């Protein structure tokens, strides 16, 4: 009887050990993915900054070359004019020294027939160029590092958070509830780990289990992250509503993502958004676990939506629509 009890205890401990190892593996995957995204984000920022620097430098050189070319033409013209005036001045000086009055009068008359220099004219050589585009480009360039530094500070706060804090305990509880919802998912622990990690960082996102309708009309109960993500646009932060559906094969298949505008918003179709709000990104197209994850996806959305907002404010009355008016955001 005692032998059976020991066997049951061993089996239970072995099961716990296996689960712990799986969690450790998931944790390592999550950390590696976060580190990889950090490296990618930094490299992309440096590349963009260098491209912007080269473009601005080329513009400055082109405008400088054009202005100098115009100035050189004016210099040649003025030098010729000055040379001609000095020549006439010398001729008059020579005549003034002549003792032959008749010769003086005849020569002076021929010199007087030439038009006098227009002393009242003012040659306005405008070499000063307007380099406002330089200031604008530098300002835009500085925004990305400042925004990145702010993101890094927020990430550091999350990483340094006390693991036994109230928030962490709430996450443990929510993991239990999530596992119950995800019983049909093939990779429960990995999916739960990513969802809880994202929710801890983006407080306005919630996990919701609902029926997803596919293009062929079939439905399947899937979990989604629904809510808003903070996007910085022209110095203000706005809450952009999104819905990220996770397939039951996640994380080996990418989420299906949508922008979900409120009644006060309109979808702005473009390169990354279609008419129904579905999101198309290279990050989703090139999705590969564990390099790709929800945190990386949201960071990419925040950057891209900051450059090209996915929604417009719905016009009231005869007013024209404008992207992301203040009442949407913080």
Q: What range does the domain containing 80 cover? A: 17-110+128-160
How deeply is 158 buried, as exposed, middle or buried, from its count of CB atoms within 10 A (0-12, 13-18, 19+)? Answer: exposed
Q: Which residue has the higher pLDDT, 56 or 172?
A: 56
- The percent of residues above 70 in pLDDT, for the chain, comes to 70
Kindly state the average pLDDT of the residues 142-159: 60
Alpha carbons within 13 angstroms on the beta-carbon side of residue 298 total 28
- 61 is a domain residue: yes
Number of domains present in the structure of the chain: 2
The single residue listed with the structure tokens 């005869």 is 318
- Of 174, 192, 196, 173, the residue nearest 182 (C-alpha): 192
163 — pLDDT class (breaks 50, 70, 90): very low
- 166 is a domain residue: no
128 — pLDDT class (breaks 50, 70, 90): low
Asked whether residue 228 falls in the same domain as residue 147, the answer is no
Asked whether residue 143 falls in the same domain as residue 273, the answer is no
Statement: residue 116 has pLDDT above 60: no
CA angle (106, 112, 114) in 5-degree steps: 120
- Of 156, 172, 201, 179, the residue nearest 293 (C-alpha): 201
Highest mean pLDDT among 6-10, 46-50, 119-123, 264-268: 264-268
Tokens of 62: 């082109």
Phi, psi at residue 126, to the nearest 5°? Answer: -95, 90
**Helix spans in 97-221 (H):** 101-112, 132-159, 166-181, 188-201
Asked whether residue 60 falls in the same domain as residue 175, the answer is no
173 — pLDDT class (breaks 50, 70, 90): very low
User: How many of the other CB atoms lie within 10 Å of CB of 223?
Assistant: 23
Asked whether residue 59 falls in the same domain as residue 143, the answer is yes
User: How many of the other CB atoms lie within 10 Å of CB of 202?
Assistant: 19
CB 141 within 8 A of CB 49: yes
Asked whether residue 274 falls in the same domain as residue 140, the answer is no
- 2 is a domain residue: no
Cis-peptide, bond into residue 251, ω within 30° of zero: yes
- 30 is a domain residue: yes
Tokens of 173: 């509880």
Asked whether residue 211 falls in the same domain as residue 314, the answer is yes
Kindly state the average pLDDT of the residues 78-93: 82
Q: Quote the CA–CA distance of 199 and 197 in Å, as a whole number.
A: 6
Asked whether residue 199 falls in the same domain as residue 318, the answer is yes
Asked whether residue 210 falls in the same domain as residue 230, the answer is yes
The single residue listed with the structure tokens 């450790």 is 24
CB 240 within 8 A of CB 229: yes
Asked whether residue 149 falls in the same domain as residue 208, the answer is no
Asked whether residue 99 falls in the same domain as residue 55, the answer is yes
Tokens of 163: 């693991």
CB 231 within 8 A of CB 310: no
- Of 242, 237, 184, the residue nearest 209 (C-alpha): 184
The single residue listed with the structure tokens 């179709």 is 269
- Lowest mean pLDDT of 130-134, 283-287, 326-330, name the range: 326-330
């Amino acid at each position: 009887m005692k032998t059976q009890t020991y066997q049951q205890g061993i089996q239970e401990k072995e099961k716990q050990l296996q689960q712990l190892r799986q969690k450790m593996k998931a944790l390592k995957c999550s950390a590696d993915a976060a580190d990889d995204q950090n490296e990618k984000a930094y490299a992309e920022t440096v590349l963009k900054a260098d491209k912007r620097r080269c473009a601005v430098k080329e513009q400055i050189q082109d405008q400088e070359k054009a202005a100098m070319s115009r100035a050189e033409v004016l210099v040649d013209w003025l030098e010729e004019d000055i040379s001609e005036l000095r020549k006439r001045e010398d001729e008059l000086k020579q005549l003034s020294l002549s003792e032959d009055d008749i010769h003086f009068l005849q020569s002076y008359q021929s010199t007087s027939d030439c038009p006098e220099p227009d002393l009242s004219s003012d040659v306005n050589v405008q070499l000063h160029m307007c380099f406002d585009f330089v200031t604008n480009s530098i300002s835009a360039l500085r925004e990305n590092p400042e925004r990145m530094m702010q993101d890094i500070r927020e990430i550091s706060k999350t990483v340094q958070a006390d693991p036994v804090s109230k928030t962490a305990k709430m996450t443990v509880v929510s993991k239990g509830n999530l596992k119950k919802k995800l019983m049909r998912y093939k990779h429960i622990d990995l999916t739960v780990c990513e969802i809880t990690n994202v929710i801890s960082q983006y407080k306005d996102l919630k996990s919701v289990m609902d029926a997803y309708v596919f293009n062929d009309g079939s439905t399947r109960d899937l979990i989604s992250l629904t809510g808003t993500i903070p996007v910085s646009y022209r110095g203000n932060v706005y809450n952009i509503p999104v819905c990220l559906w996770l397939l039951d094969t996640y994380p080996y298949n990418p989420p299906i993502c949508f922008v979900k505008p409120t009644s006060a918003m309109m979808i702005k179709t473009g390169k990354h958004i279609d008419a129904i709000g579905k999101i198309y990104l290279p990050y989703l197209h090139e999705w590969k676990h564990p390099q790709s994850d929800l945190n990386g996806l949201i960071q990419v959305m925040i950057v891209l939506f900051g450059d090209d907002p996915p929604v417009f404010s719905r016009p009231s009355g005869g007013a024209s629509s404008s992207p992301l008016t203040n009442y949407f955001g913080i």
